[in-house]
Amino acid sequence: MPVILSTCDAGFDADFATFLAARRESDSDVLDTVNGIIADVRARGDAAVIELSAKFDRLRLTPETLAFSPSEMAAEIARVPSAEREALELAAARIRAYHEKQLPQDARWTDDTGASLGWRWSAVSSAGLYVPGGLASYPSSVLMNAIPAAVAGVENLVICAPTPDGKVNPLVLLAARLSGVETVYRIGGAQAIAAMAYGTQTIAPVDKITGPGNAFVAVAKRQVFGQVGIDMIAGPSEILVIADKDNNPDWLALDLLSQAEHDESAQSILITDDEDFGRAVVQAIEKRLETLERREIAGKSWADYGAVIIVRDMSEAADLSNRIAPEHLEICVADAEGLADKCIHAGAIFIGAYTPEAIGDYVGGPNHVLPTGRTARFSSGLNVLDFMKKTTISRMTPESLRAIGPAAATLASSESLEAHGLSVLARLEALNNE
């Protein structure tokens, strides 16, 4: 059964703190394995990747077949039914349009001393995008990772998408094509992350790695961070729904189950100010679990990590939401916009009864790669800026150096960095002797 909490209960604060602190995953047991895989790939390159793919994905590869050939991609893409093609094209167009609005502007100005200051944005040169394979093969994840990178201007984009037992999802390859990615490697796991980070004889190293994956992929991304940039260490999916009684319990039950069906460790939480409504949603979930295709996964997630929290009013709901800092936040209340303004810690917010989180997973436009595990308190979802970097620009004139140089020399002296100060003073002395 899910956890049932009420802010009216005397022990609520302690119970809620315990609920927040509960860990839903642990990667300590895979760390040694991942470190061994990374070391092996660094040492042996293609040979290690090929052996590990045979071991974990039961797939025989050669250096020449690590990536799909253009003809293979074309043949697989041709298998995509027209309805699915059109849906993916719509999603790609909406995602691209949304992310194009995120492009930052360069700036340059002259301050009152005559110094020219500013910044310049530029894309990383290359990025590797990880796409899960097998049962969790999601073409939507290709679009959400590759399109922001393409919009940012990344010149070299590659995808690693494992194909266990040689099974290919044609939609993944179509999504790659729609995103402008021509190179798709059929490898996965920690070995794919290591190959993209350090390179092999066939696979060139990249500057940034993004994309979701299992525990081995998540740990591998953490281990190669510093050698390359990464987007985030994503954990199990999560959703928080804040709703009043003027909603359809079955709709919200489905919204909660939409995340529960991802993973047995996923978390679905309902906050409401009406206890009877909360019980109605629980009943609707139980009824849907009788027929849901992924009912075993969703049922375990709901039983082990689900929660219903009864609050006195929506002000309490906003406070609790900010403490939870959910990956996905649905707000279905009378003043949904007003409540959304108070919810400052969330990966993505979905406002109103007609905005289910599932729209955001596919065709809404905003990115669905979002911070989990309360990290929305300090981080954002994947976006164009993740594939860009800001370079600051400064240009002093003789006049501006005269104006601010002495302060720099003073501060350098206070930090006992003599050469720092002298590099400024030498120029000031030359100016004074003119």
Q: What is the distance between the alpha carbons of residues 172 and 145, in angstroms, rounded to a whole number? A: 12
Helix (H) or strand (E) holding 122: strand 116-123
Q: What is the distance between the alpha carbons of residues 364 and 356, in angstroms, rounded to a whole number? A: 10
Q: Hey, what's the torsion of the CAs at 127, 177, 192, 366, to 10 degrees? A: 60
| Nearest CA among 75, 66, 65, 97 for reference residue 174 | 75
Crossing angle of helices 28-44/215-224, nearest 10°?
Answer: 60
Please say if 327 is a catalytic residue. yes
Cα 174 → chain centroid: 21
Task: Identify the active-site residue in 76, 264, 327, 330.
Answer: 327
Complete DSSP assignment for 364-391: SSS------TTGGGT-----GGGGEEEE
Q: What is the distance between the alpha carbons of residues 361 and 3, in angstroms, rounded to a whole number? A: 26
**Beta-bridge partners for 6:** 310
How many Cβ atoms sit within 10 Å of the Cβ of residue 261? 23
Q: Mapping DSSP to helix (H, G, I), strand (E, B) and coil, where does residue 353 land?
A: coil
How long is the chain? 434
Q: Which residues contact 171 (CB under 8 A, 6 or more apart)?
A: 80, 84, 88, 139
What is the radius of gyration, based on Cα positions, of the chain?
26
Please say if 328 is a catalytic residue. yes
Task: Identify the active-site residue in 328, 330, 357, 368.
Answer: 328
| Nearest CA among 157, 99, 102 for reference residue 130 | 157
Contact 186, 64 (CB under 8 A): no
Contact 177, 85 (CB under 8 A): no
Contact 180, 157 (CB under 8 A): yes
Q: Which residues contact 182 (CB under 8 A, 6 or more apart)?
A: 70, 176
Both tokens assigned to 371? 């911070």
Active site residue ranges: 327-328
